[in-house]
Amino acid sequence: MPGSEMRSATISVLVENEAGVLARVIGLFSGRGYNIDSLTVAPVERDRSKSRITIVTSGTEMVIEQIKAQLGRLVPVYRVLDLTVEGPHLARELALIKVVGTGNARSEALRLADAFRARVIDASTESFIFELTGATDKLDAFLDLMRPIGLAEVARTGVAAIARGKGTIE
Amino acid sequence: MPTHLIGNDAFQEADTTGITRQATKHNYLVKRSDDLARVIHEAFYVAKTGRPGPVLVDLPKDILIAPAPYAEPSFAPHRSYRPRTEPDSFRIAEAVALLKRAERPVIYTGGGVINAGPEAARLLLEFVRLTGFPCTSTLMGLGAYPASDPQFLGMLGMHGTYEANLAMHGCDVMLNMGARFDDRVTGRVNAFAPAAKKIHCDIDPSSINKNVAVDVAVVGDAAQILRAMIAAWKADKQQVDKSALATWWQQIDVWRAKKSLRFTQAMAPGSVIKPQYAIERLYKATRGAGKETFITTEVGQHQMWAAQHFKFEKPNRWLTSGGLGTMGYGLPAAMGVQIAHPDALVIDIAGEASILMNIQEMGTLAQYRLPVKIFILNNQYMGMVRQWQELLHGNRYSESYSAALPDFVKLAESFHAVGLRAEKVEDLDRVIAEMLAVDRPVIADICVDQKENVFPMIPSGAAHNEMLLGPEHAENAGGYTGKSVTDEGLVLV
């Protein structure tokens, strides 16, 4: 049957910025057994009247079509855009990464951070905090390299994504 | 409780909007009196438009008692909620082209036609007549197409007629108008109408391709879709294949001749009443009553017998809980109908188990002088549960037998209503006549055959052509053992 393979989808949802809207979206995913690989949300209008939710999910083509249709049904949802199928898009996330160590490990951490263009935003005699922005796989690669050196703690934002070119979600 | 105490676990505090989110189409918590008028107008708009559904407005106590400014409803479109009602004309043309070339077509209609209003039902009749195609309906769609019309095949699905289900199974083009390929209708999905091109018309885009992948999807309001289809049908010069259609009708007539709903009622005095017979006599009596008749039901065997044996000619005369199947629905629903139609005859066809779910509303009937009739098919079992236990679980009647039922006649009297009982076949018509004659709430306790099961039946996980007919039919004379049901089917129960 066509479309029975799993695929990943990055979906942008423009919503009314009101109480409970995130709970509605999350309730939809848990209630219907859909996956959430990443979810981010923040107000995007100047008057804070609308928020943009970026969801990375996975499923068969039929399930992803269902997810989009179900999101579209929610009353406070303005627009649902599947960036994965709408054309080229950019997806980025930010991570704050704490590395603890002394001696050679410190200089190795700094060298790798430089190669990945991670910024040092805090330092003590035994630790660094790096700020790194990029695609999910770039962040994953950096974390894999830091792990043997002294990776102690990570905070990641999840993915924010937008379509290339002049088209907009509205 | 007041707004400023929300979150403090105050007396009787519950997160009402949180609890009801999964059970409503939308809900609101009003925290400022200035928002109240707008929210109430919006709540009604959301509840009634698109795919309609319940909307809950939670009012904290301070909002409830404070004066609030009134504002007229705004006619500006809603900011984010804009259900599509106008169908895409290209899709309509595609659908009509498929239907015109069909050799074995079937039209399958659902509650969407009812929700679209009486005009949609009128257009459905016009379209079905125009095409000459057979038409079947889901449980929720009954009444949208007149039951007495020769093109009507009866209800389809788990307890639908033989001819409706086999027409669905054997069709080459299927037009679904306002139904949602529910599992009680499709049976086993991978064996559902295997040869059919499927056209799905629905106001809710999330219904499309959810359970069954379709060839043509039309999103819109059923009345607008039907109006567009009638125009497109007339404009398309392609002729239908009349001889193929005639052959198809001959086949359908062979299936009809099975009379899959038939039952045998012994008429000798003292004979036990068959539930199907009770519905049939009730139907006959209401036809002669000279009043608009509205039927509500609870959920279970009585509901299916009512759907099979009570014939509806008009939409909105049949109110039942289909998809969710909530026992206890029928009595409050009947109350609402009676308030809306004070002169109509409103009957809740109930089971003795379901009616107890909301029995306290008997007091409301008396208080508001609502002459609702409650017609209980009393078999002392949660019959649909027992039926499955009998067919699939080795007759282990766990918790489905009620050994300590109330005396419904005395119960009615204690609630200021009239209580009647029919124990034998010769009592039935008299009890029905008395029930209809009284201008007060009535409970008619109809003691029916305890062992009767609902047939035909498509067991869960089976296909339409694997339907079981009742004991009346020779091919099932050995009785049904449930062996053909797979484990996958059992979990669907």
Mean residue pLDDT across chain B: 94
Interface contact B25, partner A, CB < 8 A: yes
A65 CA: distance to closest CA in chain B (Å) = 8
Chain B residues whose beta carbon lies within 8 Å of the beta carbon of residue A62: 209, 213
In Å, how far are B263, B380, B400, B414, B422 from B406, measured between CA atoms?
A: 29, 11, 16, 12, 16
Tell me which amino acid residue B175 is.
L
What is the model's pLDDT at position B474? 64
Q: What is the C-alpha separation between B176 and B140, in angstroms, rounded?
A: 13
Residue B479 has pLDDT above 50, yes or no: no
- Percent of chain B exceeding pLDDT 70 equals 96
Q: Which of A21, A75, A82, A170 has the highest number of chain B CBs within 10 A, making it the mutation to test binding with B?
A: A75
Q: What are phi and psi of B148, to 5 degrees?
A: -80, -5
In terms of Cβ atoms closer than 10 Å to its own Cβ (0-12, 13-18, 19+), residue A117 is exposed
Q: Do the beta carbons of residue B373 and residue B345 sit within 8 Å?
A: yes
Task: Give just the sign of the alpha carbon dihedral B268, B270, B273, B279.
Answer: positive
B18 CA: distance to closest CA in chain A (Å) = 8
Lowest mean pLDDT among A71-85, B171-185, B426-440, B471-485: B471-485
Interface contact B46, partner A, CB < 8 A: yes
What is the model's pLDDT at position B492? 57
Q: What is the C-alpha separation between B468 and B478, in angstroms, rounded?
A: 12
Nearest CA in chain B to A69: B206
What is the model's pLDDT at position B485? 57
Interface contact A77-B210, CB threshold 8 A: no
Query: pLDDT tens digit string along B105-156?
Result: 999 999 999 999 999 999 999 999 999 999 999 999 999 999 999 999 999 9
Lowest mean pLDDT among A8-17, B71-80, B175-184: B71-80
Residue A21 has pLDDT above 80, yes or no: yes
- Quickly tell me which residue has 């079905």 as its tokens: B128
Query: pLDDT tens digit string along B219-241?
Result: 999 999 999 999 999 999 999 99
What is the model's pLDDT at position B38? 95
Half-sphere exposure at residue B118, Cβ-oriented, CA atoms within 13 angstroms? 4
SS3 B408: helix
Interface contact B205-A73, CB threshold 8 A: yes
Chain B residues whose beta carbon lies within 8 Å of the beta carbon of residue A69: 205-206, 208, 210
What is the model's pLDDT at position B476? 54
Interface contact B397, partner A, CB < 8 A: no
Residue B417 has pLDDT above 90, yes or no: yes
